[in-house]
Structure 1
Amino acid sequence: MDFLEIAENVSHKIWSYNQDSSGWNLAKGSRNVTVCWKPSTEFGGNLYRGEGIIEDIPEKIIPFMYLPEYRMKWDKALKSYSILERLDEDTVICHTVTHSYGMGLISSRDFVDLVKIKKYEGGIITTNSRSIDYQACLPSPSCVRGYNNPCGYVCSSLPQSPGHSRLTIFIQPDLGGMLPRSLVESALPNNIINLINDAQAGLKSAGY
């Protein structure tokens, strides 16, 4: 399996999602974040797009969002997060473990994801990821192994508002296990809103 080729293909998909302005339905909005959805072409669930404005520049926001030394300090949803292997300067394999929820009703999930960082003209930086089979990190009885269909962040600076950026998040996870699809779909918009707000709070508190 050519992980670098897979990562490049995922990058094309995330960019195509970012360019796609049709068919989105409003799921939820807050003061700072808007979440929309449309049926996924990857699996039986939905593709979600969350958009918010963050006070910082893409060159600082993107590393803060995906490098373990930063993300574990602010992402309240994660129990652990680590880089298992670095394939090249811009491509890594990560292992993510989430906390359980609802007094243990929703079990902890783990994901093994291929992540590629890619830059575009105009100062746009993206993360592009997808779950993979990775023999060095097999499923564990302590977690339900989930699968992230192509997902990522698109971060672009706002010329009209110096020092601020638009952060767009695309997710379409298959959480595995026996969870009803309706429960998953009702929870994801809030998760996206929390992720963007927690990232902003983390950036401010870290003075990064």
Structure 2
Amino acid sequence: MASYKQILEDCRIKLLDIINDEEGWEKCQNEKQIVITRKLSTFFDGHVFKGEVDIDAPFDKVAKIWAPNPKGHREEWDTHVTSLECVEEIDEEVYIVRTVTPSAAMGLVAARELIDLMMLRFEDDGQTAMTVSKSIEHNDCPIQDKLVRGTNYPGGTLYRKTGPYTTHMTYIGHTCLGGNLPTSVVEALMPRTIHSMLDTLRKASTQ
């Protein structure tokens, strides 16, 4: 079995391929500060979503605010999660996180649980940082009857320094929510959720 580092390196390459691929994206939400596009995923029968936002804060601050404990502060501001738990800290960059999301769409979408291998890395160029994530199985996180287990395919975020106190962030949401949700519900829910999440992050980063 590949090591966690090998899995994440493979995911990092796939994430950059998705970000740098300019073909096939269609806009599903376009505002002055946040642009959201989507394209068909090559990993599952659904879409991968890209969110882009400019933030008036240094890139290293944004990266740490986005990341969950123990590397960051996401649980302090993100209302789109019920709980974030570090199941295992592998090293200074790599950790395993259990995320529980609340129900949505007036209860039509049940609460979800995701178990992800994650990495937060600040690149040597001093200009960029990345978070990389992918769902895995973990012995300490058996499937629970009351939660639907979702799956994150290679995804994450890229933070580019655009000035001393400005950052361009690209978010790749690559999630199969699981369960028996109609595709139309997922396609309507994801852009709104991503927009709300990135807008909240933008505000939290500038406080």
TM-score with structure 2 setting the length: 0.93
In 1, Cα distance between equivalents of 2:51 and 2:103 = 23
In 2, Cα distance between equivalents of 1:114 and 1:156 = 23
Question: 2:206 aligns to what?
Answer: 204
Q: CA 1:46/1:102 → structure 2, altered by over 3 Å: closer, same or farther?
A: closer
Question: 1:149 aligns to what?
Answer: 153
Q: 1:39-58: per-residue Cα shift (whole Å, max 9, x none)? A: 11111101111100011111
Q: 1:176-203: per-residue Cα shift (whole Å, max 9, x none)? A: 1110112101111111111111112222
CA contact (8 A) 1:101 1:107 kept: yes
Displacement of 1:86 in angstroms is: 1.1
- The one-letter code matched in structure 2 to 1:39 is L
In 2, Cα distance between equivalents of 1:183 and 1:123 = 38
Unaligned runs of 5+ in 2: none
Q: Equivalent of 1:191, from 190, 193, 198?
A: 193
Displacement of 1:174 in angstroms is: 0.6
Pairwise CA RMSD of aligned residues? 1.4
Question: 2:50 aligns to what?
Answer: 49
In 2, Cα distance between equivalents of 1:89 and 1:122 = 18
Q: Does 1:167 align with 2:172?
A: no
In 1, Cα distance between equivalents of 2:191 and 2:54 = 16
Question: 1:132 aligns to what?
Answer: 136
- The one-letter code matched in structure 2 to 1:148 is N
Q: Which residues in structure 2 correspond to 1:104-119 (within 5 Å)? A: 104-119=107-122
Q: CA 1:204/1:122 → structure 2, altered by over 3 Å: closer, same or farther?
A: closer
Displacement of 1:122 in angstroms is: 5.4
SS at match of 2:206: helix
In 1, Cα distance between equivalents of 2:133 and 2:23 = 23
Percent of pairs with identical residues: 29
In 2, Cα distance between equivalents of 1:142 and 1:73 = 25
Q: Does 1:158 align with 2:159?
A: no
In 2, Cα distance between equivalents of 1:70 and 1:44 = 32
Unaligned runs of 5+ in 1: none
In 2, Cα distance between equivalents of 1:176 and 1:24 = 23
In 1, Cα distance between equivalents of 2:138 and 2:144 = 13
Q: Which residues in structure 2 correspond to 1:7-86 (within 5 Å)? A: 7-68=8-69, 70-86=73-89
- The one-letter code matched in structure 2 to 1:79 is T
**Aligned length, in residue pairs:** 203
